[in-house]
Amino acid sequence: MPEETGKIVLPGELIGTSEEFVPRNGAYEDKGNIYSAVTGIIKTNPKDRSISVSPVTNTPPRLQIGDIVIGQITDVKDSVALIEIAGIKGKGEREIVGAEDAAIHVSNVKDAYVRELSLEFAPFDIVKARVLDLRNMRLTTVNKELGVMKAYCTNCRTVLKKDNDKLKCPKCKRIEARKLSSDYGKGVI
Ligand code: ZN
């Protein structure tokens, strides 16, 4: 019997008998034989004699070009800001499982010259951005509603308040600059 754990099988493939195993997820029994229900990898558990098949194909892409994503800035370098994506707007059924890393290149920040990327983003900022490219996971914030949604004072970590087109710390009065989303501070995504 092809019972070795780790083997990849196709739907309908014989993977064991009911004398040897109890079928679980991705497996079914028919007339004493156990078959795979999906394309996947066989897993057996000697303790409860179970056999299951973990699917490996037809996993839908988690992100698509044009998706609006929310994430947190993790690092700001000379030419790119790194961002950890936390969710996709309006796509509840495609919520991110585990964080995904992406980058915003200095040329994709805004519709104007960027002198210094550290004047547009800072670590811990919550950012709304659009997916430009999946292979390199590039995002853009060129749009009025895209950009920083929430930012923390780099001095005292207090949430910054919007003051005209700048941000002001209500605690230490520090003034900071960001590429702001028009939705900054509204708590809406
Ligand atoms: Zn402050």
pLDDT tens over the chain, length 189 residues:
444 567 778 888 899 999 999 999 999 999 999 999 887 889 999 999 999 988 775 444 467 889 998 889 999 999 999 998 877 777 654 455 555 789 999 999 999 999 999 999 999 999 999 999 988 899 999 999 999 999 999 999 999 999 988 999 999 999 999 999 999 988 766
pLDDT of residue 96: 53
Contacts with 98 (C-beta within 8 Å, 6 or more apart), sequence order:
none
Tally of domains within the chain: 2
Half-sphere exposure of 113 (CA within 13 A, CB side): 1
63, part of any domain: no
CA 86 to ligand 1 center in whole angstroms? 26
CA terminus-to-terminus distance, the chain: 53
State whether 41 and 72 are in the same domain: no
> Quick one: 46 and 79 in the same domain?
no
Cα 178 to middle of ligand 1, angstroms: 15
Centre of ligand 1 from the C-alpha of residue 156, in Å: 4
Distance 2 CA to ligand 1 centre (A): 64
Res 101: pLDDT = 87
- Examine residue 185 and state whether it is found in any structural domain, yes or no: no
* Cα 109 to ligand 1 centroid, rounded to whole Å: 25
pLDDT for res 85:
86
Q: What distance lies between CA 182 and its chain's CA centroid?
A: 23
Distance from the alpha carbon of residue 115 to the mean position of ligand 1, in angstroms: 24
What pLDDT shows up at residue 91?
Answer: 60
Give me the domain span that covers residue 162: 68-176
User: Is 91 among the domain residues?
Assistant: yes
This prediction's pTM: 0.66
Same domain, 39 and 105: no
The pLDDT of residue 3 is: 47
Instruction: Report CA(153)–ligand 1 centroid distance (Å).
Output: 5
In a shared domain, residues 72 and 107: yes
Residue 80 counted as domain residue: yes
- Tell me which long-range contacts 24-28 makes (C-beta under 8 A, separation of at least 24): 24/50, 24/51, 24/52, 25/52, 25/53, 25/54, 26/52, 26/53, 26/54, 26/55, 27/51, 27/52, 27/53
CA–centroid distance, 110 to ligand 1, in Å, is 26
Query: Ligand 1 center to residue 176 CA distance, Å?
Result: 10
Q: Is residue 187 part of a domain?
A: no
Q: Is residue 189 part of a domain?
A: no
Q: Are residues 112 and 172 in the same domain?
A: yes
CATH code for the domain in which residue 136 is found:
2.40.50.140
- Whether 51 and 90 map to the same domain: the answer is no
Is position 182 within any domain? no
Find the 151 Cα to ligand 1 centroid distance in Å: 11
Regarding whether 162 and 113 lie in a shared domain, the answer is yes
Q: Are 147 and 178 in contact (CB under 8 A)?
A: yes
Residues 17 and 45 reside in one and the same domain: yes
Of the candidates 137, 72, 73, 80, the residue with the CA atom closest to the CA atom of residue 107: 80
